[in-house]
Structures are given as structure tokens and as C-alpha cells.
Amino acid sequence: MAERSFAREVQDLRLGAGQEFRGEGILAVTKALLQSGVGYVAGYQGAPISHLMDVLSDAQEILGDLGVHFETSASEAAAASTLAASVVYPIRGAVTWKSTAGTNVACDALSNLASGGVTGGALIVIGEDYGEGSSIMQERTHAFAMKSQIWLLDPRPNLPSIVRAVEDAFELSEASHTPVMLELRIRACHVHGSFVCKDNRRPPFPLSQALENPRRDVSRIVLPPSSYVHEQEKVKERWPAAVEFIRARGMNETFAGDVEEIGIILQGGMYNGVMRALSLFGLADVWGATRIPLHVLNVTYPLVDADLAAFCRDKRAVLMVEEGQPDFLEQALHAILRKAGVNTTVCGKDVLPMGGEYTAQVLVEGIRRFLEAQAPALLHAARTPPGAAAVMREPAVQALMKAVPPRPPSFCTGCPERPIFSALSLVQRELGEHHVAGDIGCHLFSINPPFDIGATTMGYGLGASSAAAFQVKAKKRALAVMGDGGFWHNGLATGIANAVFNKHDGAVLIVDNHYSAATGGQDIPSSRARNPSRSTQHPIENAVRGVGATWVRHIDRTYSVGRLRDMLRDALTTKAEGPKIIVASSECMLNRQRRERPAFAAAVKRGERRVKPRFGVDEDVCTGDHACIRLSGCPSLSVKDSGDPLKEDPVAAIDNSCVGCGNCGEVADAAVLCPSFWRADIVHNPGRWERMVARLHGRLIAALARRRDAKRLALV
């Protein structure tokens, strides 16, 4: 159950020639694939292209009508391997994943694909981001593109440019027999706009025809001496063919301006930010007119040397706007200009940050420095937008900084993974701290307060294997954590099978929340939901036993903190040999609420009886030591003034964001804390008997309260 349904939006994918398409960037990519006659699509979800996978999943009926095969791949490596269908057959294929982590996973298949080359167009849609919003290491796909000589597109972030880039990418791939990457940042994925459609095209060479008429070309397989020939082809044939196609098609764009002595060269994805920054200086308008000439690299690899030299030849200085590091494009530009005998000054990372996201404010600062050094007269005549430091000093910003506390990433309210780490905290109180190897996924939030659990994380599904070096005789065992998404991604082989084969003695905790929750709630083999187009309901514990694990425990309700604590203690202390594996299962609360809340509200509206649990804290019983908050950390657990002048410390309180999971009470019970938590059941549409009993209870409570107040001493 993905976090967002595109069932309504995908119907627009049926629009034909001349009709206007309106929507998000990810929908435009899908429409462009269909207009390009794609034969198959595969991929692995991950920000910022998770929703692209969700769109494709919701559009399976439309894809099927066109004869397009789509599948959610087990990993990025599986997705990349799918492109083998385009090696010897004239079939267009597209795959997608989050980069650079996903590209690293897929590199074996991509290297072979780039070496042997392709016959049909092969497109890889890459989701890449920088800055605080990125959830992975700050690396660039550009490095991989250069290493394997895969062409890299970075289109301007508007729908017509994105659609054109997809269509051009297939033709570029076929013209140069080389796979092509299309880089999309999160702003491009979710930018809204419109474009004029073309008709969808059925694949001219269907997959069934390939199966019925198989082909072989041994020269495309990466084995000596073919592998040497491939490298010669790249340099002598594919690269020149790509450069010629890029020039002939006009894939890169130049926008003229009246200030001819300077210019800006930029990645296509930086266009909106650069135009916004220039408009703040009064050097551009919202319609795309600019006073400073721009050369937009919608193709960032390979570069077209002649076009860059021609743009720079009559300019005193140019600014290279290149997001991310190292400065590949800036270095290449220096080399291109010097070889061409062009003495234009190149500015770039000297005035712009080496790393991080290039927001409009960052670009304002960089362009200001560039103009100060290269065109001070133009800067003096322009408007002066406030710098970042000035913005931060504004009273409204200062007030906001005081009112909004820092909020590190954390588990959601009611998350079933929270009690797992509450239980582990209790175990470590007894046994001392252990080395805990983390993994990619929601469970990685355990490294933050209040749990502070986890020493390392090496990659998706690599939790168990990252503890492999600690499988030695010692007084304590290593504990590794991985999620169900990571388990099916590669953890079963690299983690569990590896641990069984090497007779590891450590413990492995597999967090099963029924979905690939961290990437948006997509189904995986162990999902409990019935998926009409996928095979689900394959228990993780069966797979674990299938590779030879014998000490396997399963708990189907992670909110049972006491039981989970005992299970973890047993795994860390038992004398049994081999890896000790615990599968802790409970449904992702976000997905559960997405499903249950609308159904609950509809039932109440129909007049049906429904019961909703509500939790609270007895202020008279609460001691104010806040141990419950330190062991749970739930966002719905807060503090408030007790109202008692003799109780100085604020007491615990539960706010209205509580989803009634019961974790706070379970933690209090398992940790032998104060019994201050209470539960009340809110009954919607109660029956006559329930209403009568409720009135009697209300009268009895009121009478007892009056009696207590009558006996209470009054201090005058």
C-alpha cells in the first residue's frame, strides 16, 4: 500500500496528440515513456523517484493495453539487469532508482551494459539530491557516468523539457549504442506544469517477438577480446556519434542576453534556481528573458567542446554553476577552453559552495561574488537582494527560530519499531551496552535520542554483514538490525546466508513492518496484503530457515515490550551455536492509519458502532521523572504543568496525535515504572444500554467527587 495513490492521475496518460497534459514531473516522465514506444519498465523505489514507481504501478492496466511489461525489481541490480533485453533486440527499455546508492548496487550490470552497448534505446531515470533533504551520502552520478561512459542528461525542470529529454534520450541511446541516464532532482520530480501530448505508441518490436525469434551477438558479451574492442568503440564510434546527435538535435540550449562580456554555464537542473537568483538582481524576468547570456547543459556528459568554446570565446568571464562535488564540469571546462585557445576566466566553486544544495539563496550569494569580481558596474546598477546573513537577522526569522525547536528525524507516532528499541534499551540496562550494527530504513532513527542505539550503517540490507568482523569469542555478542525491505533487497544472501555459512555467533533482528515502509509503503514478498499483480505473504522466517538458520524466533506484535525484551535477552545470552535471528513483526502505523481512518470515519458516518482507544496520564500518580518519555520517545508523549504547587516537575501528558497503539503503557509495565497510564475506550454510535450505563457512571462519579470535595481541607 503505497503512501500515495495515483489511480486518478494516471488516467491522463491516455491523452492523445494535441491534448494538454497537466500534472507532476513524475507523471510527465511516464507519459513520455509511453509516447516513446517503450517496451518494458522496471525499477526500485527510493526518494526522490519513489512516486515514479507508484505511478507506474497504478498505471499497469494502461501499460498492459500498450503491451508494455512493468515490474517492481528486487533491487537496483535486478532493475539494471533488465536492460539486457535492449542489448541485441531493438526494444526500448527504461529503469529507475535512487542514486547514488542505487547506482552503486547496480554497477555490475551497468558496467557490462555500457561495455557491450545496446541496440534498442536504454534509459536509466536517476533520482539524485543534495543538501539537508537528501537521505544518503552526497555523491554524484556524474562520476559513474564518466567511469563507464554512460551519457548523462540533466534537463531543465519544467514538463516540456523533461518530456523532450526522455524522448531524445532514447534516440541518443540508439544513435550511439550507449545507455543514457536521466537525472531528476526532487524539485523536478514534483514540479507542476503542462505540455502538449503526442499519441502513445505500442513497442514497434514487442518482447514476444524477441522470444519467438531469438538473436545472439557474441561480440556484445564482455569477454576478451570483445571487451577490448568495446573500449575502442566507445572512443572512436559511440562518443563521436553522441556528440554529433547532441549538436544536431540542439539538446543543449543557449539563451542570449545584452550583457555580452560575461555569461553563465549551468546544469539544466539548475535553470530555475539561476533564473530566480537573476530575477532578484533585476537581471532576468519570470518569462525567461535574461540580461546575462546562459548556456544550459541539458546533457552534462558528454560535453560538446565546440559549443562551449563558442559560447565563451567573446566573453571576459563565465560562471560555471555545477551542483555537487567534485567540480567535474568546471575542470573539464578549463581543459576545453585552454585547448581551444580561449582565455576566458572561469569561475565556479571559488564563488559557490563546493557541496550542498544550490538553493536560490545560495545562488544569489554566488552570483553576487561573481559580479563583484567580474562585472562590478553591472552589480551596482542592479537591485541588491538581501544576503543569507541579513535574512537570518530579520526579526520574524529570529522569532521563528526561537519558537520552533530542532527536530531530528524520528519514528512516527505509534510506529511499531519504537517498542523494539524500548525493549533493547531495557536489555542493555541489564546486560550492558552491545555493538549494534544498523541498516538503512526507518529503524535507523534509533541512533537518535532517546534510544541512542546503533554504531554503523553500511547500506541497504547490509546490517548483518556489517557485523561480520565481530564474530569472535567474547563476553558479549554483536547485534545487527535490518528491515524487511533491506532483507529482500539483499539481506537474505549477504546477511543471513552469509552468517549461516560462516557460523556466526551474533544476533540479527529483522524488523518486519509488512511493507518497504521507508520508501513509501510499497509491497514486498512478505507483505500481508493481497496484491493482485504481485506474489506476497511469504513469511521472512520461512526464508531464513530455508538458508539454514536454526535459532529463529518470531514475534507478531512488537508492542509487547516485555515479551520482546525477554526474546532479545535470550538471543544475546543463549549458548546455542550459529546466528540467532529474531523476526519482529507489526504493521507500519502510517500505512495502517491510511487504511483504517477512512474506513472508521465512513462506518461512524453510517451510524455503525465503533470503538477507539484513548490513552492518558493520571496527573496525581505521575511522579514527573519522565522515564516513560526516555524509554519511548513517542511524539505524542509530552509534558505539562501538574497544577500542584507541591509538584514542581512537569508531569507527562499525551496529546491528541496519539493513535492508541498502547506502547507507552507497555513500556511502563515492562520497565516497572509508575502505573500512571490509563486507557479509555471512546464509543461512537453507542447502543441504548451503553448510553444508560454511561449516564449511571457519570452520576456516580459526580457524587463521589462531591463527597471528596466536602471532606477536603481548605487552606485560607
pLDDT digits 0-9 by tens, 312-338: 999 999 999 999 989 999 999 999 999
pLDDT digits 0-9 by tens, 679-701: 888 899 998 898 898 899 889 98
* Higher local confidence (pLDDT), 712 or 681: 681
Cα–Cα separations (whole angstroms), residue 318 to 142, 353, 382, 560? 22, 17, 18, 63
* Higher local confidence (pLDDT), 681 or 193: 193
Count Cβ atoms within 10 A of the Cβ of residue 8 and give its class: 0-12 exposed, 13-18 middle, 19 or more buried.
Answer: exposed
pLDDT band at 714 (very low <50, low <70, confident <90, very high): low
* pLDDT reading at 75 higher than 60: yes
| pLDDT value for 135 | 66
Q: Give the count of beta carbons closer than 10 Å to the beta carbon of residue 690.
A: 12
Please say whether the beta carbons of 44 and 79 come within 8 A: yes
* pLDDT reading at 2 higher than 70: no
Calculate the CA 575 to chain-centre distance: 40
Note if the pTM is more than 0.75: yes
Count Cβ atoms within 10 A of the Cβ of residue 219 and give its class: 0-12 exposed, 13-18 middle, 19 or more buried.
Answer: middle
Cell numbers of 536, please? 506476497
Cell numbers of 549, please? 538458520
pLDDT band at 639 (very low <50, low <70, confident <90, very high): confident
Cα–Cα separations (whole angstroms), residue 448 to 134, 441, 670? 17, 14, 22
pLDDT digits 0-9 by tens, 134-184: 667 778 999 999 999 999 999 999 999 999 999 999 999 999 999 999 999
What are the start-end ranges of the E strands in 30-169? 40-43, 69-72, 93-98, 122-127, 151-153
pLDDT digits 0-9 by tens, 219-252: 999 888 888 899 999 999 999 999 999 999 999 9
609-685 CATH choice from 3.30.450.40, 3.30.70.20, 3.30.420.40, 2.60.40.2470: 3.30.70.20
Count Cα neighbours of 638 within 13 Å in the Cβ-side half-sphere: 10
Sign of CA dihedral 131, 136, 139, 141: negative
pLDDT digits 0-9 by tens, 577-622: 999 999 999 999 988 888 889 999 999 999 999 998 888 888 888 8
Please, what is the Cα angle at 47 between 115 and 134, to 5 degrees?
100
Domain 418-591 grouped into CATH 3.20.20.80:
no
Q: What is the torsion angle, in degrees rounded to the nearest 10, for the CA atoms of residue 592, residue 596, residue 597 and residue 602?
A: 170
What are the start-end ranges of the E strands in 212-278? 253-255, 262-267
Query: What CATH number is given for 253-401 in this structure?
Result: 3.40.50.920
Q: Do 253-401 and 418-591 have matching folds?
A: yes
Residue with cell 523494539: 420
Residue with cell 544498523: 438
Calculate the CA 305 to chain-centre distance: 35
Please say whether the beta carbons of 97 and 106 come within 8 A: yes
Between CA 698 and CA 380 the distance in angstroms is: 75
Mean pLDDT of the 198-206 span: 96
| pLDDT value for 83 | 97
Between CA 443 and CA 513 the distance in angstroms is: 10
| pLDDT value for 405 | 65
How does the average pLDDT of the chain come out, rounded?
A: 91
Report the residue count for the chain. Answer: 716
Where is average pLDDT lowest: 95-104, 397-406, 410-419, 591-600?
397-406
Between CA 185 and CA 162 the distance in angstroms is: 12
pLDDT digits 0-9 by tens, 532-549: 888 999 999 999 999 999
- 709 contact partners, CB below 8 Å, separation of at least 6: none
Parse the chain into domains and list their residue ranges.
Answer: 14-203+214-249, 253-401, 418-591, 609-685
pLDDT band at 132 (very low <50, low <70, confident <90, very high): low
Please say whether the beta carbons of 633 and 411 come within 8 A: yes
The CATH class of the 14-203+214-249 domain is alpha beta
Q: Shortest CA distance to 79 belongs to which of 53, 60, 61, 54?
A: 53
